[in-house]
Structure 1
Amino acid sequence: MAMGFGRKNMEEIKTEEVKIWECSSETCNAWVRDNFKSTPKCPICNSEMVETTKELQVVNNNSIFSK
């Protein structure tokens, strides 16, 4: 009898194209999801952020500050 130790039922990871803010600085590669950011300034280097999209895992933001 074969036992499946360590085998877990893996849920499919759901992804979607998400609006993000990406740092405009050449030396900084920070980015943040749009629904987790209120103003377009980089949280790392304080440079301007540029709106773009990225294919990401679905995450819900239940923050009272989200849009």
Structure 2
Amino acid sequence: MSFGRRNQEEIVTEETKIWVCKADDCKCWVRDNFKSSAVPTCPICKSDMEQTTRVLEVINNPGKHS
């Protein structure tokens, strides 16, 4: 018997577009499908952000239309 072990769902990941803060002392990033404008500014320090990609868990944004 194994106590405390549950069948866990496999975590689905994919290469995801994100925006990363350009400020050296800020580690903020935002998923592309959660950004608030075409070219977002950092919500933490208000610096410019640049687009890149990361392999992340898939999360859908039901409020955002593709």
Residue 21 of structure 2 aligns with an amino acid whose one-letter code is C
Counting matched residue pairs gives 63
- Segments of structure 1 that go 5 or more residues without pairing to the other structure are none
> Where do 1:1-16 residues align within 5 Å?
3-16=1-14
Between structure 1 and structure 2, the one with the greater Rg is 1
> Where do 1:24-43 residues align within 5 Å?
24-39=22-37, 40-43=40-43
Query: After TM superposition, which residue ranges in structure 1, 4 or more long, deviate above 3 angstroms?
Result: none
Q: CA deviation at 1:4?
A: 1.9
Aligned to 2:47: 47
Identity %: 59
> How far apart in 1 are the matches of 2:26 and 2:45?
7
Residue 51 of structure 1 aligns with an amino acid whose one-letter code is Q
Normalised by the length of structure 2, the TM-score is 0.89
Q: CA deviation at 1:38?
A: 2.1
> How far apart in 2 are the matches of 1:41 and 1:22?
9
Q: Secondary structure at the match of 2:33?
A: helix
Per-residue CA deviation, residues 6-56 of structure 1 (Å, 9 max, x unaligned), is 010011100000000000001101001000002210000000010000100
> How far apart in 1 are the matches of 2:16 and 2:33?
9
Residue 57 of structure 1 aligns with an amino acid whose one-letter code is E
Q: Quote the RMSD (CA, aligned, Å).
A: 0.9
Normalised by the length of structure 1, the TM-score is 0.88
Q: Secondary structure at the match of 1:28?
A: coil
